[in-house]
Amino acid sequence: MAEAIYLDGVRDKNVMQLKKLNTFFFPVRYNDKYYADAIASADFSKLAYFSDVCVGSIACRLEKKEGGVMSIYIMTLGVLAPYRRLGIGTKMLKHVLNLSEKQNNISDIYLHVQTNNEDAIAFYKKSGFEIVDTIQNYYENISPPDCYVLRKEVHAKK
Ligand SMILES: CC(C)(COP(=O)(O)OP(=O)(O)OC[C@H]1O[C@@H](n2cnc3c(N)ncnc32)[C@H](O)[C@@H]1OP(=O)(O)O)[C@@H](O)C(=O)NCCC(=O)NCCS
């Protein structure tokens, strides 16, 4: 039921929700800079609610490039297992894409994903992301340690 899904911003007051969700999704502990970057990205980081329960999150970092252009880096994106395949991940990703297209200084959205994360790779490819690079030994404490870089160009729609 698509109407039951909505997104809310990440703020000091609810950042604990993002912290709790990350312990479910990822074997990595994120540092204070991660959370500061997520809050600083303003509308680019969101919590997803399903019938008033917080079930997913997307956390982005805005990266300045040369000439005033910016990239959006997706630090994390996840949906709790029982709520997957309901379009919640897509809703969060589309939100970030739509927001990027409304600005005229964002060149691309990119992220790293572990090479064995087939679910996530299928998910991002469905939304038009392409594998543009492979980095060996990107992760320190997980196996396989390699990641793909997935990227999607942004074309401003004003
Ligand atoms: C990747 C993830 C965020 C997808 O979230 P989701 O809410 O289930 O995704 P959606 O329901 O929007 O899926 C959209 C499409 O992506 C593809 N997809 C999503 N999960 C898939 C899977 N497990 N296998 C194959 N295709 C998949 C499908 O094409 C799907 O469309 P469909 O359901 O109509 O077939 C979720 O699986 C997750 O949280 N994984 C663990 C955390 C993670 O690995 N995050 C990515 C690294 S940052």
CATH number at residue 63: 3.40.630.30
Give me the amino acid identity at 99. L
Can you give the residue range of the structural domain that contains 103?
Answer: 2-153
Report if residue 130 sits inside a domain: yes
Residue 158 lies in a domain: no
Task: Say if ligand 1 is within 6 A of residue 94 CB.
Answer: no
Q: pTM for the full model?
A: 0.96
Domain membership of residue 50 (yes or no) is yes
> 48 in a domain, yes or no?
yes
Span 34-68, pLDDT tens digits: 999 999 999 999 999 999 999 999 999 999 999 99
Catalytic, 73? Answer: yes
**Ligand 1 mean position to 84 CA, how many Å?**
6
Amino acid letter for position 62: L
In a domain, 137, yes or no: yes
pLDDT digits (tens, 9 = 90+) for 62-80: 999 999 999 999 999 999 9
